Amino acid sequence: MPLTPTEAVVGPARAANTGVGAFNVVQIEHAEAIVAGAERAGLPVILQISENTARYHGALAPLALATLEIARAATVPVAVHLDHAESAQLVQEAVDLGFTSVMFDASKLPYQANLAATRMITDHCHRADVWVEAELGEVGGKDGAHAPHVRTDPAEARAFAAATAVDALAVAVGSSHAMIIRDAVLDLDLIARLKDSLDIPLVLHGSSGVDDSDLAKAVAAGMTKVNISTHLNQLFTRTIRERLQAAPAVADPRKYLGPAREAVAEEVSRLLRVLAGH
């Protein structure tokens, strides 16, 4: 089916008070696995490529073009999103390639500088009908920037969203990026207050550190787009490690990447059902 606009995935979920999964693509197997999982669940999904991943591959285009083609071949709605972009040039490249949304991350800047930079990106992307997500203040944990106790102020979030005209806002409510244990404690009351304060979807970053029960509670309280990366990477790597330990002489990477891809597909399918309340 045609590539699906991110708004067409997130908007209906927000209206129904359900969640949608946004999973990071590090290599082509991730894109294949995420789409396969979404098709098994019969639910829409968002594929994300981060600036860090583009840097790892040396360029955005090769992985992006493959990911876009995998998305277009899916039997369920799939959107493709640029995650945590700090470079305006990379945002422009993603727009030119056909990404349906971008997350522009100027959160390391002082408030007014973040606001100005984000508004410039939003104006440009909206002219191309590309949906924009932003982050107000750094979500805890990424490069040690903040502790998990950091919280987004609802009044500041409302003012920022109005000034920047962003389409979604990632907020700090107790999760942290790159968590390897699912023991984050979310501020569900704050999520509800943020939902009441804003008329745009809320985004939960650092969701790898949130267990199934709290993911469901976060969605019920008002979260819509739920980003998950590290959790799937742990599963992918663990499966590869197990396969190589069981057959140390194996040389064909398909023998261990294939099972890792399958494990991720099953987990994506399961997580999408959790987020959708199924």
pLDDT tens digits for range 34-53:
999 999 999 999 999 999 99
Q: Cα torsion at 12, 13, 17, 19 (round to 10°)?
A: 180
Q: What is the pLDDT of residue 108?
A: 81
**pLDDT band at 29; cut points 50, 70, 90:** very high
Judged by DSSP in three states, 74 sits in coil
Q: What is the pLDDT of residue 137?
A: 62
Does 177 count as an annotated binding residue?
yes
- Range name among 9-13, 229-233, 270-274 with the lowest pLDDT average: 229-233
CATH number of the domain residue 120 falls in:
3.20.20.70
pLDDT at residue 267 tops 60 = yes
The closest alpha carbon to 230, from 263, 258, 208, 249, belongs to 208
Looking up tokens 């949304």 gives 101
Q: What is the pLDDT of residue 146?
A: 38
| Residue 226 domain flag | yes
Are β-strands 202-204 and 168-170 bridged in parallel, bridged antiparallel, or unpaired? parallel
pLDDT tens digits for range 99-143:
999 999 988 888 888 899 999 999 999 999 999 999 876 544 443
**pLDDT band at 212; cut points 50, 70, 90:** confident
| Residue 1 domain flag | no
Does 231 count as an annotated binding residue?
no
Does 69 count as an annotated binding residue?
no
| Residue 110 domain flag | yes
Q: What is the mean pLDDT of residues 267-278?
A: 95
C-beta of residue 275 within 8 angstroms of C-beta of residue 44:
no
| Residue 96 domain flag | yes
Tell me which of 83, 167, 187, 214 is the catalytic residue. 83
Domain span holding position 196: 6-276
Residue 153 a catalytic site member: no
Q: What is the pLDDT of residue 260?
A: 98
Q: What is the pLDDT of residue 43?
A: 98
| Residue 257 domain flag | yes
Q: What is the mean pLDDT of residues 205-225?
A: 85
pTM over 0.85: yes
pLDDT at residue 87 tops 70 = yes
C-beta of residue 22 within 8 angstroms of C-beta of residue 207:
no
Of 21 and 139, more confident: 21
Q: What is the pLDDT of residue 2?
A: 86
Does 167 count as an annotated binding residue?
no
| Residue 94 domain flag | yes
Q: What is the pLDDT of residue 36?
A: 98
Q: What is the pLDDT of residue 23?
A: 97
Q: What is the mean pLDDT of residues 239-259?
A: 97
| Residue 145 domain flag | yes
Does 267 count as an annotated binding residue?
no
pLDDT tens digits for range 155-207:
989 999 999 999 999 988 865 555 555 556 678 889 999 999 999 999 998 76
Q: Which residues lie below 8 Å from residue 138, measured CB to CB, with a gap of 6+?
A: 107, 108, 145, 146, 150, 172
Q: What is the mean pLDDT of residues 77-95?
A: 97
**Number of independent structural domains in the chain:** 1
Give the rounded distance of the alpha carbon of 262 from its chain centre.
Answer: 20
| Residue 57 domain flag | yes
